[in-house]
């Protein structure tokens, strides 16, 4: 979020961004309410809302690809490995980042004209370690534990 903000509206120090995040004051609304809204809907309407976690997509892409295929009414079974591989390649972060439309296109958002490249950075799980201090990470983890308490999600899920 900090990277996105700095590319669209910044500059914002990482210290101020963590403080804002932990206090729930974000330009696009409280993060946890947003995530938990989708999580709750996925439990109420599992046939209509699929809740995927980026970390799981990166860790086990074939399994998550099959889960998505099943949700969309496609078989996605082990006999469809070639089809799953094609979908994973077509939707891969690296491929999408390099598409012409995502390199040179633009979208109007909240009165701003933003390049599509704003939506693509590294796509690396754990890159936060390159930007946050241990104290910042602990603050975020503590707030996350409190916000997720009793929801069926935990910090270990991410």
Interval 6-52: pLDDT, tens: 777 778 899 998 998 888 887 666 788 889 999 999 999 999 999 99
Looking up residue 122, the CATH number of its domain turns out to be 3.40.50.300
State yes or no: pLDDT of 136 exceeds 90.
Answer: yes
* Backbone dihedral angles phi then psi of residue 121, each to the nearest 5 degrees: -125, -100
Q: Please give the model's pTM, rounded to 2 decimal places.
A: 0.72
- 3-state SS assignment for residue 5: helix
Which pLDDT does position 138 carry in this prediction? Answer: 94
- Return d(Cα 21, Cα 5) in angstroms, integer: 12
Range of the domain at 95: 2-157
Number of domains in the chain: 1
DSSP 3-state of 112: strand
Residues contacting residue 67 through CB under 8 Å, at least 6 positions apart: 50, 52, 76
Tell me the pLDDT tens digit for each residue of 62-112: 999 888 888 888 765 556 788 888 888 888 888 888 888 777 666 665 555
| Alpha-carbon distance values, 91 to 80, 85, 127, 132, 142 (Å) | 17, 10, 21, 29, 33
């Amino acid at each position: 979020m900090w990277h996105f903000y700095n590319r669209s509206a910044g500059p914002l120090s990482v210290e101020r961004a963590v403080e804002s995040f932990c206090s729930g004051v974000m330009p696009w609304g409280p993060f946890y309410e947003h995530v938990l809204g989708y999580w709750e809907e996925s439990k109420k309407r599992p046939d209509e809302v699929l809740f995927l976690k980026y970390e799981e997509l990166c860790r086990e892409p074939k399994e998550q690809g099959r889960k998505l295929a099943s949700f969309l009414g496609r078989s996605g079974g082990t006999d469809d490995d070639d089809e799953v591989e094609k979908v994973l390649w077509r939707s891969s972060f690296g491929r999408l980042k390099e598409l012409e439309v995502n390199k040179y296109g633009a979208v109007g958002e909240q009165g701003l004209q933003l390049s599509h490249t704003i939506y693509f950075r590294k796509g690396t799980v754990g890159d936060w370690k390159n930007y946050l201090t241990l104290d910042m990470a602990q603050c975020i983890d503590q707030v996350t534990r409190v916000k997720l308490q009793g929801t069926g999600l935990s910090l270990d899920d991410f």
